[in-house]
Structure 1
Amino acid sequence: MGLSRRAYAALRGVHESAVRKAIATGRITTEADGTIDAAKADAMWDASTDPAKQRGAHARDLGRGTAAATRIVAGTKAVPRQAFAAVAETLTEAGADPGAAAGDGGEVSFVKARMANEVLKAQTARVRLQKMKGEVVDRARATAMVFDLARRERDAWLNWPPRVAADIAAELGAEPHAVEQVLMRYLRRHLAEMSEVKVELR
C-alpha cells in the first residue's frame, strides 16, 4: 500500500493540487488501490518534467544532490555566486527562467549549468550563421575600417588649406601665407573637437 495524494504531496514538497494534476495528465500513475508508490512516482515525475521548471522540496534536493555529486566527481569547490550570476544572465537572455538555479551557499546546479552551456552554444551557432549570411560584421574589422576612414578624412582636410589659401588670399587681398596659417589654426582646432567623438561598435 502506498501513500495518499496528500501524504505524497507533503513528501515531495508540492501542493496537493500539483499531485492531482500530475495524475490527471498521466505524468504519474497510482496503484490499483488508488495510492501512490513514492519511488515510482518520483521517477516518473522527474522523467516527464523539464528540470528547469521543477519546483518543490524534491526539486531543490535533486538540484543540491546533483551539484554535490558534480563537485565530488570533479574534485572542485562549490561554484561561486559570480558563476551563478553568469548562468542566470545567460538563461535570462535566452528567455528561460533563471529562478532556483542556485542551491544553498550560492551553488549552481549541474542541470542549470548544462542548460546555460547549451544556450551559449546555440547563440554562438546563430552568430556564426548570421556572419555567413552577411547579417553581422567582424567588430575588429569594422573598427579598423572606421579608423582608416577617419585618418584619410583628417589627412584630406589638412591638405586643404595649402591648396586654397592662395585663391582665398587673392579674393580678400591678403597675404597667402597668413591666410594659410589662419585656416590651418582653425582647422586643427575643429579636428581636435571631432577627435573627441568615440565610436563604440558593440
Structure 2
Amino acid sequence: MPDDTISIREFARREGVSDTLVHQALKKGKLSREPDGRMNPALVGSGWHKEESSAKRFAEAAKNDEELATGAGPVRGVSYGEALRLKENWLALLRRLDYEHKAGSLVEVATAQRVVFDLCREQRDAWLAFPSKVAPFLAVEFGIADLERLTASLAAHVHNQLADLGEPHARFDGEQL
C-alpha cells in the first residue's frame, strides 16, 4: 500500500463522520477513490460533506414530491419511508403557506383581483367626472362661451381614451402585466 493514501475508515475518522457517509459520498460522486481503492488524505476538510442549503434541499424535495403526486415523473412504487417523507414535506409546505397567510405576506388571488378591480374602477370614475370638473375652468381661461359643447367634447375624448385602454387584466403568475 502506498503511503500517500488512507483507508475509507481512516478518512472518515479524520473527517469526523461515519464511514457509511463516506461510502454514500463515493456513490454520489462527491468523493473519488484512488486507483488502489483508498482515499486521498488531501480531501480531508474539503467540505464534501457539508449539507446543501436547506432551501435548495426543500425546493428539490418539493419538486420531486410534486412529480410523484401528479404522475409527471416515472411511475414507480413508493416505500413506506418515502411515503412518510412525502407526507411530511407536504405538511411542511401547508404549514408554511398558513404561516405566510397569517403573517400577511401571502394574499389570496381573489382578494388581489378584487383590489385591482376596485382601483381600476376608481380611476375610471375619476376620469369620467374629469370633463365636468375641468370644463368651466377651461371655458373661462380660453374665453369659450359654449360650456356644454366643451364638456361634451372633453367627455368624448375621455371616453375614447378609456376605450383604448380596454379592460384591466391583472396577471398574478409572475409574468409582466
Q: TM-score, normalised by structure 2?
A: 0.51
Which residue in 2 is equivalent to 1:148? 118
C-alpha spacing 1:108/1:181, structure 2 compared with 1 (3 Å): farther
Check 1:113–1:181 CA distance in 2 against 1; reply closer, same or farther (3 A cut). farther
Letter in 2 for 1:198: H
Aligned residue in 2 for 1:185:
156
Alignment of structure 1 residues 1-202 onto 2, 5 Å: 25=18, 94-96=59-61, 98=64, 106-110=75-79, 112=82, 114-174=84-144, 175-202=146-173
Question: How many Å separate the matches in 2 of 1:117 and 1:188?
Answer: 55
| Residue 166 to residue 109, structure 1, CA distance change in 2 (3 Å) | same
> Could you tell me how far apart the structure 2 residues matched to 1:92 and 1:124 are?
17
Letter in 2 for 1:138: E
Judge which range, 136-145 or 125-134, deviates more: 136-145
d(CA) in 2 for partners of 1:186, 1:93: 55
In the TM superposition, what whole-angstrom CA distance separates every residue of 1:25-60 from its partner, at most 9, and x where no partner exists?
465xxxxxxxxxxxxxxxxxxxxx9xxxxx8xxxxx
Structure with more of its chain in helix, by fraction: 1
In the alignment, the residues of structure 1 paired with residue 57 and residue 19 of structure 2 have an alpha-carbon distance, to the nearest angstrom, of 30
- AA of the residue aligned to 2:76: E
Runs (4+) off by over 6 Å: none
Tell me how far 1:142 sits from its aligned partner: 2.0
Map of 1:60 onto structure 2:
none
1:121-140 C-alpha deviation (Å, 9 max, x unpaired): 21111011112222222222
Q: Sort the Cα spacing of 1:194 and 1:93 in 2 relative to 1 into closer, same or farther, 3 A.
A: farther
- Provide the rounded CA distance (Å) in 2 between the counterparts of 1:180 and 1:197: 26
Once the two structures are TM-superposed, the CA of residue 93 in structure 1 deviates from its matched residue by: 6.7
* Distance of 1:92 and 1:117 partners within structure 2: 16
RMSD between aligned residues: 4.0
| One-letter identity of the residue aligned with 1:94 | A
Instruction: Tell me how far 1:147 sits from its aligned partner.
Output: 0.9
Superposed displacement of residue 92, structure 1: 8.3
Unmatched tracts of structure 1, length 5 or more: 1-17, 28-48, 50-54, 56-90
Question: Aligned partners of 2:168, 2:83: CA distance in 1, in Å?
Answer: 40
**TM (normalized to structure 1)?**
0.46
Indicate the residue corresponding to 1:81 in structure 2: none
